[in-house]
Amino acid sequence: MATAPLSQPRAGVALRDYTTWKVGGPAAWFAEPADQGELIAHAAWAAASGLPFRCIGAGSNLLIADGGLDGLTLCNRRLQGSRLDPGEGWVEAEAGEPIPTLARKAARSGLRGLEWAVGIPGTVGGAVVMNAGAQGGCTAEWLVSVRVLDPRRPDAPFELAAADLAFAYRHSRLQEEPLLVLSARFRLEPGHDPAVLSARTSANLQSRTSTQPYQQPSCGSVFRNPEPLKAGQLIESLGLKGLAIGDAQVSPIHANFIVNTGAATASDIDALIRQVQQRVLESRGVRLHPEVQRLGF
Protein backbone atom coordinates (compact mmCIF):
# COMPACT_ATOMS: atom_id res chain seq x y z
CA MET A 1 0.00 0.00 0.00
CA ALA A 2 1.18 3.53 -0.72
CA THR A 3 1.79 6.12 1.96
CA ALA A 4 -1.45 7.91 2.82
CA PRO A 5 -1.88 11.67 2.31
CA LEU A 6 -1.39 14.07 5.22
CA SER A 7 -5.08 14.05 6.19
CA GLN A 8 -5.66 10.35 6.80
CA PRO A 9 -8.78 8.91 5.11
CA ARG A 10 -11.43 7.77 7.57
CA ALA A 11 -13.07 4.36 7.47
CA GLY A 12 -16.80 3.68 7.59
CA VAL A 13 -18.09 7.26 7.30
CA ALA A 14 -21.89 7.45 6.88
CA LEU A 15 -22.54 8.98 3.46
CA ARG A 16 -26.14 9.89 4.35
CA ASP A 17 -24.59 12.90 6.09
CA TYR A 18 -23.16 14.03 2.74
CA THR A 19 -26.21 13.72 0.47
CA THR A 20 -29.19 16.05 0.19
CA TRP A 21 -31.58 13.05 0.32
CA LYS A 22 -30.03 12.05 3.68
CA VAL A 23 -29.65 8.43 2.60
CA GLY A 24 -26.71 6.20 1.78
CA GLY A 25 -24.52 3.63 3.50
CA PRO A 26 -20.91 3.95 4.68
CA ALA A 27 -17.85 4.74 2.62
CA ALA A 28 -15.08 2.17 3.00
CA TRP A 29 -12.69 5.13 3.00
CA PHE A 30 -13.62 8.81 3.06
CA ALA A 31 -11.77 12.13 3.05
CA GLU A 32 -12.50 15.85 2.71
CA PRO A 33 -9.40 17.48 1.21
CA ALA A 34 -8.75 21.10 2.11
CA ASP A 35 -7.31 22.11 -1.27
CA GLN A 36 -6.52 20.83 -4.75
CA GLY A 37 -3.07 19.63 -3.71
CA GLU A 38 -4.48 17.48 -0.95
CA LEU A 39 -7.19 16.13 -3.25
CA ILE A 40 -4.55 15.15 -5.80
CA ALA A 41 -2.54 13.45 -3.03
CA HIS A 42 -5.58 11.43 -1.99
CA ALA A 43 -6.22 10.42 -5.60
CA ALA A 44 -2.60 9.32 -5.99
CA TRP A 45 -2.84 7.26 -2.79
CA ALA A 46 -6.00 5.55 -4.02
CA ALA A 47 -4.47 4.83 -7.43
CA ALA A 48 -1.28 3.41 -5.91
CA SER A 49 -3.33 1.32 -3.49
CA GLY A 50 -5.55 -0.10 -6.21
CA LEU A 51 -8.69 1.40 -4.67
CA PRO A 52 -11.77 2.50 -6.64
CA PHE A 53 -12.11 6.27 -6.43
CA ARG A 54 -14.90 8.82 -6.85
CA CYS A 55 -15.70 12.35 -5.76
CA ILE A 56 -18.93 13.86 -4.50
CA GLY A 57 -19.75 17.53 -4.03
CA ALA A 58 -22.93 18.84 -2.44
CA GLY A 59 -24.45 15.37 -2.68
CA SER A 60 -27.42 16.51 -4.76
CA ASN A 61 -28.48 14.58 -7.87
CA LEU A 62 -26.91 11.59 -6.15
CA LEU A 63 -28.38 8.34 -4.80
CA ILE A 64 -25.94 6.21 -2.81
CA ALA A 65 -26.92 2.63 -2.05
CA ASP A 66 -27.74 1.56 1.50
CA GLY A 67 -24.82 -0.84 1.39
CA GLY A 68 -22.40 2.03 0.90
CA LEU A 69 -19.38 2.33 -1.38
CA ASP A 70 -16.07 0.53 -1.59
CA GLY A 71 -12.77 2.23 -2.27
CA LEU A 72 -12.15 5.91 -1.55
CA THR A 73 -14.89 8.54 -1.60
CA LEU A 74 -13.76 12.16 -1.59
CA CYS A 75 -15.99 15.12 -0.79
CA ASN A 76 -14.80 18.38 -2.36
CA ARG A 77 -17.03 20.76 -0.36
CA ARG A 78 -14.00 22.39 1.26
CA LEU A 79 -12.49 23.27 -2.14
CA GLN A 80 -14.16 26.66 -2.30
CA GLY A 81 -13.19 30.05 -3.61
CA SER A 82 -13.45 32.10 -6.76
CA ARG A 83 -11.71 34.92 -8.61
CA LEU A 84 -13.73 37.44 -10.62
CA ASP A 85 -12.61 40.10 -13.09
CA PRO A 86 -15.53 42.58 -13.30
CA GLY A 87 -13.85 44.45 -16.12
CA GLU A 88 -13.19 41.54 -18.48
CA GLY A 89 -15.91 39.18 -17.29
CA TRP A 90 -13.66 36.26 -16.38
CA VAL A 91 -14.66 34.06 -13.45
CA GLU A 92 -12.61 31.16 -12.08
CA ALA A 93 -14.07 28.96 -9.35
CA GLU A 94 -12.97 25.93 -7.37
CA ALA A 95 -14.99 22.77 -7.98
CA GLY A 96 -16.45 22.78 -4.46
CA GLU A 97 -17.74 26.36 -4.65
CA PRO A 98 -21.56 26.29 -4.29
CA ILE A 99 -23.01 27.42 -7.61
CA PRO A 100 -25.58 29.68 -5.85
CA THR A 101 -22.71 31.43 -4.05
CA LEU A 102 -20.93 32.02 -7.34
CA ALA A 103 -24.15 33.33 -8.91
CA ARG A 104 -24.56 35.93 -6.15
CA LYS A 105 -20.90 36.99 -6.34
CA ALA A 106 -21.20 37.46 -10.10
CA ALA A 107 -24.38 39.53 -9.75
CA ARG A 108 -22.78 41.78 -7.13
CA SER A 109 -19.85 42.32 -9.51
CA GLY A 110 -22.11 43.37 -12.38
CA LEU A 111 -21.44 40.16 -14.33
CA ARG A 112 -24.48 38.81 -16.17
CA GLY A 113 -24.93 35.12 -16.95
CA LEU A 114 -25.38 33.05 -13.78
CA GLU A 115 -28.59 34.48 -12.35
CA TRP A 116 -30.39 31.21 -13.21
CA ALA A 117 -28.03 29.20 -10.98
CA VAL A 118 -28.99 30.68 -7.61
CA GLY A 119 -31.50 27.94 -6.76
CA ILE A 120 -29.46 24.93 -7.85
CA PRO A 121 -28.40 22.83 -4.82
CA GLY A 122 -24.95 21.90 -6.09
CA THR A 123 -21.33 22.84 -6.59
CA VAL A 124 -19.52 24.30 -9.58
CA GLY A 125 -17.98 20.91 -10.31
CA GLY A 126 -21.35 19.18 -10.24
CA ALA A 127 -22.87 21.89 -12.43
CA VAL A 128 -20.20 21.27 -15.06
CA VAL A 129 -20.59 17.49 -14.98
CA MET A 130 -24.40 17.64 -15.26
CA ASN A 131 -24.61 20.75 -17.45
CA ALA A 132 -26.91 22.06 -14.75
CA GLY A 133 -29.53 24.58 -15.75
CA ALA A 134 -32.69 26.41 -14.70
CA GLN A 135 -34.75 29.45 -15.61
CA GLY A 136 -33.74 29.11 -19.26
CA GLY A 137 -29.98 29.13 -18.62
CA CYS A 138 -27.36 26.38 -18.37
CA THR A 139 -23.69 25.86 -17.56
CA ALA A 140 -22.62 25.15 -21.15
CA GLU A 141 -23.62 28.66 -22.27
CA TRP A 142 -21.00 30.36 -20.10
CA LEU A 143 -18.27 27.80 -19.42
CA VAL A 144 -14.92 28.34 -21.15
CA SER A 145 -12.78 25.54 -19.73
CA VAL A 146 -12.29 23.15 -16.83
CA ARG A 147 -9.20 21.86 -15.04
CA VAL A 148 -9.59 18.12 -14.51
CA LEU A 149 -7.79 15.18 -12.97
CA ASP A 150 -7.63 11.66 -14.34
CA PRO A 151 -7.52 9.33 -11.30
CA ARG A 152 -5.44 6.93 -13.39
CA ARG A 153 -2.79 9.69 -13.75
CA PRO A 154 -3.30 11.83 -10.63
CA ASP A 155 0.06 13.57 -11.01
CA ALA A 156 -0.95 15.33 -14.24
CA PRO A 157 -4.03 17.62 -14.06
CA PHE A 158 -4.94 19.17 -17.40
CA GLU A 159 -7.45 21.53 -19.02
CA LEU A 160 -10.37 20.78 -21.30
CA ALA A 161 -12.15 23.43 -23.34
CA ALA A 162 -15.93 23.61 -23.08
CA ALA A 163 -16.10 22.55 -26.73
CA ASP A 164 -14.43 19.25 -25.76
CA LEU A 165 -17.07 18.32 -23.17
CA ALA A 166 -19.81 17.16 -25.58
CA PHE A 167 -22.44 19.20 -23.76
CA ALA A 168 -26.10 18.36 -24.28
CA TYR A 169 -29.24 18.74 -22.17
CA ARG A 170 -28.16 17.79 -18.62
CA HIS A 171 -25.21 15.90 -20.04
CA SER A 172 -21.47 16.11 -20.56
CA ARG A 173 -18.76 13.60 -21.37
CA LEU A 174 -17.67 13.87 -17.73
CA GLN A 175 -20.62 11.63 -16.81
CA GLU A 176 -19.03 8.83 -18.82
CA GLU A 177 -15.31 9.31 -18.18
CA PRO A 178 -13.49 9.04 -14.84
CA LEU A 179 -12.34 12.67 -14.86
CA LEU A 180 -12.61 14.82 -11.76
CA VAL A 181 -13.28 18.56 -12.04
CA LEU A 182 -10.83 20.65 -10.01
CA SER A 183 -11.90 24.14 -11.14
CA ALA A 184 -13.86 25.89 -13.87
CA ARG A 185 -13.48 29.10 -15.87
CA PHE A 186 -16.44 31.13 -17.12
CA ARG A 187 -16.78 34.16 -19.37
CA LEU A 188 -19.70 36.36 -18.30
CA GLU A 189 -21.03 39.69 -19.58
CA PRO A 190 -19.45 42.63 -17.70
CA GLY A 191 -20.77 46.12 -17.20
CA HIS A 192 -24.27 45.44 -15.89
CA ASP A 193 -25.94 47.13 -12.91
CA PRO A 194 -25.22 44.99 -9.82
CA ALA A 195 -28.49 46.04 -8.18
CA VAL A 196 -30.51 44.90 -11.19
CA LEU A 197 -28.67 41.58 -11.45
CA SER A 198 -28.96 40.94 -7.71
CA ALA A 199 -32.70 41.64 -7.82
CA ARG A 200 -33.11 39.27 -10.78
CA THR A 201 -31.10 36.61 -8.97
CA SER A 202 -33.24 36.93 -5.84
CA ALA A 203 -36.42 36.75 -7.93
CA ASN A 204 -35.21 33.52 -9.56
CA LEU A 205 -34.54 32.02 -6.14
CA GLN A 206 -37.96 33.08 -4.87
CA SER A 207 -39.61 31.50 -7.91
CA ARG A 208 -37.92 28.16 -7.25
CA THR A 209 -38.42 28.04 -3.50
CA SER A 210 -42.11 28.89 -3.81
CA THR A 211 -42.81 26.06 -6.27
CA GLN A 212 -40.46 23.32 -5.07
CA PRO A 213 -40.19 21.37 -1.76
CA TYR A 214 -37.10 23.03 -0.36
CA GLN A 215 -38.05 22.25 3.25
CA GLN A 216 -37.62 18.47 2.85
CA PRO A 217 -34.61 16.37 1.87
CA SER A 218 -34.55 15.78 -1.89
CA CYS A 219 -32.05 15.65 -4.74
CA GLY A 220 -33.63 18.42 -6.77
CA SER A 221 -35.35 17.34 -9.99
CA VAL A 222 -35.31 13.56 -10.35
CA PHE A 223 -35.97 13.20 -14.09
CA ARG A 224 -34.74 14.96 -17.19
CA ASN A 225 -37.53 16.71 -19.06
CA PRO A 226 -38.44 14.67 -22.19
CA GLU A 227 -38.49 17.82 -24.34
CA PRO A 228 -40.81 19.40 -25.31
CA LEU A 229 -42.74 17.72 -22.46
CA LYS A 230 -42.10 18.35 -18.76
CA ALA A 231 -41.44 15.40 -16.47
CA GLY A 232 -43.30 16.95 -13.55
CA GLN A 233 -46.41 17.57 -15.62
CA LEU A 234 -46.43 14.00 -16.94
CA ILE A 235 -46.13 12.56 -13.44
CA GLU A 236 -48.77 14.91 -12.03
CA SER A 237 -51.18 14.09 -14.89
CA LEU A 238 -51.24 10.48 -13.66
CA GLY A 239 -52.19 11.51 -10.14
CA LEU A 240 -48.86 10.37 -8.72
CA LYS A 241 -48.25 13.31 -6.39
CA GLY A 242 -48.07 11.85 -2.89
CA LEU A 243 -47.26 8.31 -4.09
CA ALA A 244 -44.97 6.76 -1.49
CA ILE A 245 -42.80 3.74 -0.84
CA GLY A 246 -41.73 3.71 2.78
CA ASP A 247 -40.78 7.29 3.64
CA ALA A 248 -39.89 8.14 0.03
CA GLN A 249 -42.67 10.23 -1.51
CA VAL A 250 -43.41 11.97 -4.81
CA SER A 251 -43.69 15.52 -3.55
CA PRO A 252 -47.23 16.93 -3.31
CA ILE A 253 -45.69 20.32 -4.20
CA HIS A 254 -43.76 19.38 -7.37
CA ALA A 255 -44.13 15.97 -9.01
CA ASN A 256 -40.55 15.86 -10.35
CA PHE A 257 -39.23 15.82 -6.78
CA ILE A 258 -39.01 12.78 -4.52
CA VAL A 259 -38.68 13.75 -0.88
CA ASN A 260 -37.52 11.92 2.21
CA THR A 261 -40.36 12.39 4.69
CA GLY A 262 -38.47 10.89 7.60
CA ALA A 263 -36.57 7.61 7.44
CA ALA A 264 -36.50 6.74 3.75
CA THR A 265 -33.80 4.38 2.54
CA ALA A 266 -31.96 4.52 -0.76
CA SER A 267 -33.82 1.34 -1.71
CA ASP A 268 -37.17 3.08 -1.06
CA ILE A 269 -36.18 5.98 -3.30
CA ASP A 270 -34.81 3.72 -6.02
CA ALA A 271 -38.01 1.64 -6.02
CA LEU A 272 -40.16 4.78 -6.23
CA ILE A 273 -38.12 6.14 -9.14
CA ARG A 274 -38.63 2.88 -11.01
CA GLN A 275 -42.34 2.77 -10.24
CA VAL A 276 -42.85 6.31 -11.54
CA GLN A 277 -40.90 5.45 -14.69
CA GLN A 278 -43.03 2.36 -15.26
CA ARG A 279 -46.33 4.16 -14.71
CA VAL A 280 -45.41 6.98 -17.09
CA LEU A 281 -44.17 4.55 -19.73
CA GLU A 282 -47.32 2.41 -19.54
CA SER A 283 -49.76 5.32 -19.52
CA ARG A 284 -48.05 7.91 -21.70
CA GLY A 285 -45.53 5.93 -23.73
CA VAL A 286 -42.70 8.17 -22.51
CA ARG A 287 -39.53 6.77 -20.95
CA LEU A 288 -38.30 9.12 -18.22
CA HIS A 289 -34.53 9.23 -17.72
CA PRO A 290 -33.25 10.19 -14.26
CA GLU A 291 -30.89 13.08 -13.74
CA VAL A 292 -29.87 11.23 -10.59
CA GLN A 293 -26.57 9.37 -10.54
CA ARG A 294 -26.80 6.03 -8.73
CA LEU A 295 -23.69 4.86 -6.87
CA GLY A 296 -23.26 1.42 -5.36
CA PHE A 297 -26.32 -0.24 -6.90
**Residues carrying an active site annotation:** 170, 221, 291
Strands (E), the chain: 10-14, 26-31, 53-56, 62-64, 69-75, 82-85, 90-94, 133-134, 137-138, 143-149, 158-161, 180-187, 244-245, 248-250, 258-260, 293-295
- 39-56: burial string, b at 16+ Cβ within 10 Å, e else: bbbbbbbbbebebebbbb
How many angstroms separate the CA atoms of 70 and 1, rounded?
16
- Write the DSSP symbol of residue 180: E
Separation in Å, CA 213 to CA 128, 143, 206, 218:
24, 29, 12, 8
Can you state the angle between helices 194-211 and 99-108, rounded to 10 degrees?
150
Handedness of CA 232, 235, 238, 243 (dihedral sign): negative
* All residues at 6 or more sequence positions from 76 whose CB lies less than 8 Å from its CB, including other chains: 32, 33, 39, 55, 56, 57, 95, 96, 123, 125
Cα–Cα nearest to 294, from 275, 274, 279: 274
